[in-house]
Amino acid sequence: MNPIRLHSQRRPSQSPTLHPRFAGLVLAIETSCDETSLALYRNGRLLDCLTASQERVHQRFGGVVPELASRAHVENLPLLLERLLERTRVGLADVELVACTRGPGLEGALLAGLSFAKGLSLALAVPLLGLHHIVAHVYGAFLGARRIPFPLIALVVSGGHTLLLLVEGHGRFELLGTTVDDAAGEALDKGARMLGLPFPGGPLLDRLAASGDARAVALPRPDPGGLNFSFSGLKTALRRVIENGSSASKADLAASFQQAVVEALVRKTEQALLQHPCRALLACGGVSANSLLRRQLALLARRLRARLLIPPPAYCTDNAAMVAACAAYLYPLYGPSSAAIEPMPRWPIERLA
């Protein structure tokens, strides 16, 4: 196996609190970027989720190298499957639905997961379901939820996406706002890099910022209007501060930069909730693991009397548990995918099936 970091995301104490409409055994696969993840899920219960992170494969390149990601997925998938079956003592023949991420994401990475899923679906003679990565992130916040309080506002913040969605029901998404340039995670990763942190810098920036003063450095608050976001001006401002030889410590720079990104996310989320009154707010995607964002969203939800749905940090970044939960809810709605489906590297959420 590659020099990967493997972690199990099983939470044995989890009770069967979800009420999926598909109760059978789901094998879920996520390979949209640089995490290979497999999960087994049945009747609202996550049996186990194994994720092989490729962080170390890509770290020395300062970003994800698509070819290396595809190769690592191809190598990791059968090994992870074997371990998952061993750990859960589930027989492959018991699988009733194979679900995988179809897009958006890196084409080769998606192809690795989809081909593996197709092979299993054909060999086991069970249906295949190709899912939208962002939609899967949203359903990741329903893992462990007793009731889903539709309609809700969802803030999706990851390395590649920054979206505000109105979710009116299962599979019913309206795009309210998005970024006009960088995604929030991308901005945090670039900012972290400027501060000398290794890729992906988001989580490290989060940690560094904890000991800094967020008021130490004045950074702009770019606003492209409506419910949209813009982060590239902020990134340029940070570069300028660093190039001008700021006397602020790295921790202060990290805290000030993180504060500016989080403030923009929370401000637009509040506007979305005021424009579309909902009783629930959902946050998901890798950046929703950010400690400041989690605290600020909790305060916002309390102030607006909305319920906050946010996955535990380990389920914010890419994982197959969210794909499994998504499959359980959406399979009855969409039915099986054709065995001929291809990856959709660019799949606008407005074009959901």
Near ligand KG4 in 259-278, by CB under 6 A: none
Tokens of 308: 């906050």
CA triple 147-153-154, angle to 5 deg: 90
Q: What is the C-alpha R_g of the chain? A: 20
Cβ closest to ligand KG4, residue 206 vs residue 252: 206
Per the CB < 8 A criterion, the answer to whether 101 and 134 are in contact is no
Among 255, 287, 323, 325, binds ligand KG4 (CB under 6 A): 287
290 binds ligand KG4 (CB under 6 A): yes
- Number of separate helices (H) and strands (E) present in the chain: 10, 11
List residues bridging with 130 in a β-sheet.
100
Q: Which does 103 bind (CB under 5 to 8 A by kind): Zn ion, ligand KG4, none?
A: none
162 binds ligand KG4 (CB under 6 A): no
Cβ closest to ligand KG4, residue 40 vs residue 157: 157
31 binds Zn ion (CB under 5 A): no
Among 289, 320, 327, 330, binds ligand KG4 (CB under 6 A): 289
Q: How far is the CB of 292 from Zn ion (least distance, A)?
A: 20
131 binds ligand KG4 (CB under 6 A): no
162 binds Zn ion (CB under 5 A): no
Q: How far is the CB of 54 from ligand KG4 (least distance, A)?
A: 11
Residues contacting ligand KG4: total by CB under 6 A: 18
- Only one of the segments 169-177, 201-209, 244-252, 269-277 lies at the binding site for ligand KG4 (rule: CB under 6 A); that segment is 201-209
Q: Is 220 helix (H, G, I), strand (E, B) or coil?
A: coil
Peptide bond into 3 cis (omega under 30): no
259 binds Zn ion (CB under 5 A): no
d(CA 302, CA 279): 11
Please measure the distance between the N-terminal and C-terminal CA atoms of the chain and give it in whole angstroms.
36
The mark string for 17-56 relative to ligand KG4 (x by CB under 6 A, - otherwise) is ----------------x-----------------------
Helix axes 250-275, 202-209, angle to 10 degrees: 110
DSSP secondary structure, 166-200, as one string: EEEETTEEEEEEEBSSS-HHHHHHHHHHHTTPPSS
Cβ closest to ligand KG4, residue 20 vs residue 286: 286
DSSP secondary structure, 20-60, as one string: -S--SEEEEEE-SSSEEEEEEEETTEEEEEEEEE-HHHHHT
Amino acid (one-letter) located at 239: R
Among 121, 158, 179, 319, binds Zn ion (CB under 5 A): 158
Tokens of 332: 């009855």
Q: How many CB atoms lie within 10 A of CB 300?
A: 18
d(CA 172, CA 219): 37
Cβ closest to Zn ion, residue 76 vs residue 158: 158
140 binds ligand KG4 (CB under 6 A): no
318 binds Zn ion (CB under 5 A): yes
Cβ closest to Zn ion, residue 269 vs residue 288: 288
- Only one of the segments 184-192, 239-247, 268-276, 336-344 lies at the binding site for ligand KG4 (rule: CB under 6 A); that segment is 184-192
Please name which of 193, 213, 211 lies closest in space to residue 202, comparing C-alpha atoms. Answer: 193
Q: Which residues bind Zn ion (CB under 5 A)?
A: 158, 318
Q: Which residues bind ligand KG4 (CB under 6 A)?
A: 33, 158-160, 185, 188-189, 200, 202-203, 206, 285-287, 289-290, 317-318
